[in-house]
Structure 1
Amino acid sequence: MIEGDSRGHFVVPGSINGAAMRFLVDTGATAVSMGAADARRAGIDYRRGRRAQSQTANGVAAIWVVSLNSIRIGGIELSGVDAAVHEGDMPMVLLGMSFLNRMQMTREGSRLVLERRY
């Protein structure tokens, strides 16, 4: 269960590969997206991933597509989740649809409830 902030955003602590991260729930993001510094902190050798380009709110960005060993939000842990690593840093990790598609999402007032589907 994630409580919305004063602007209606859902920000939640979690981890990638055991490294603590702050996530912003972003249903408009195709994949979990993070900056290079967060990827390094999580032990991801992202330059071994597949190079690609992503259309972002700020224009086209170079990314590396990787598969995460582990991503945890509360009591939910998933493996094999696709992620995009951006060359620049980001203020927090975007919890995109590569994670959220595996959840049942329910809005209860100012709260977002995530339940693992598979």
Structure 2
Amino acid sequence: MRRILFVVLTFFCTFAAQATDVSVVGLFPGKALLVIDGGNPRTYSVGATIAPGVKLVASNSASVIIDFNGKREELAIGQHVGSAGDAGGGSVTLHADRRGHFIAEGQINGGMVRMLVDTGASLISLPSHDAIRLGIDYRQGQVGYSNTANGMKQVYLVRLDTVKVGSIVLHQVDASVSEGGLPIILLGMSFLNRTEMQRSGDKMTLKKLY
């Protein structure tokens, strides 16, 4: 299995997709690793046509520029764009625990989970034992490396069918799976970036955007 070195970032841009679903999972000078319409990750070179009306214009280790139906957009790792048919609202209010952490009870692929809200994580991050419990065959995912406080760590890139928190239900959410060292699922920006976050004291409200 091909190993891809990627840099985990914490801030993302969004753009509106028509009928093409695009995720950026790896960035390199002159190339980008993209997932199109839920398929397998594929490396595209600058100048390549990604899908009808979608072209990779530029790429470096920080971001890519994609011409999307005549409009140029700059994107970063972890950014996911859902198809136009993804509609419906939803919201949830979380309360901080004694340590100031926000814990979300929810579901991943229909299985019950407990997740720590982490705006410093670019993707939803799962320990391997949780992935196995949820029926995720993560070893079929793309192998990558995450830059953590303890150095580079191997992870597997996967896409979750559904993630539910409160009345918010998101489909096709990018995630990573780590073998060891992760005590709890991290609810990262691949989910949070598709919500509006409002913080007031010990309360955090999430509202679905798309």
TM-score of the aligned structures, taking structure 1 as reference length? 0.96
RMSD across aligned positions (CA): 1.0
Choose between structure 1 and 2 for higher RCO, CA contacts under 8 A separated by at least 6 residues: 1
> How far apart are residue 58 of structure 1 and its match?
2.5
Q: What is the rounded CA distance, in whole Å, between the counterparts of 2:209 and 2:133 in structure 1? A: 29
Q: Partner residue of 1:114?
A: 206
Aligned to 1:19: 111
1:1-118 residue pairs with structure 2 within 5 A?
Answer: 1-88=93-180, 90-118=182-210
Q: How far, CA to CA, are the matches of 1:89 and 1:61 in structure 2?
A: 10
Name whichever structure is richer in helix by fraction. Answer: 1
Query: How high is the sequence identity, in percent, across the aligned residues?
Result: 48
C-alpha distance 89-70 of structure 1, shift in aligned 2 (>3 A): farther
Q: Which amino acid is 1:64 matched to?
A: Y
Alpha-carbon offset, residue 100 of structure 1? 0.4
How much does 1:25 deviate? 0.3
Asked if structure 2 preserves the Cα contact closer than 8 Å seen for 1:12 and 1:73, the reply is yes
Per the alignment, in what secondary structure is the counterpart of residue 100 of structure 2? coil
User: Per-residue deviation at 1:74?
Assistant: 0.9
Q: Which amino acid aligns with 2:166?
A: G
Which secondary structure state, in structure 1, belongs to the residue aligned with residue 153 of structure 2? strand
Per the TM alignment, residue 59 of structure 1 is displaced from its structure 2 partner at its CA by: 2.0
Gaps of 5+ in 2: 1-92
Moved over 3 A (4+): none
Task: Quote the offset at 1:89 in angstroms.
Answer: 5.5
- Contact 1:34/1:89 (<8 A) preserved: no
Whole-angstrom CA distance in 1 between matches of 2:197 and 2:152: 29
Which residue identity is paired with 2:104?
Answer: V
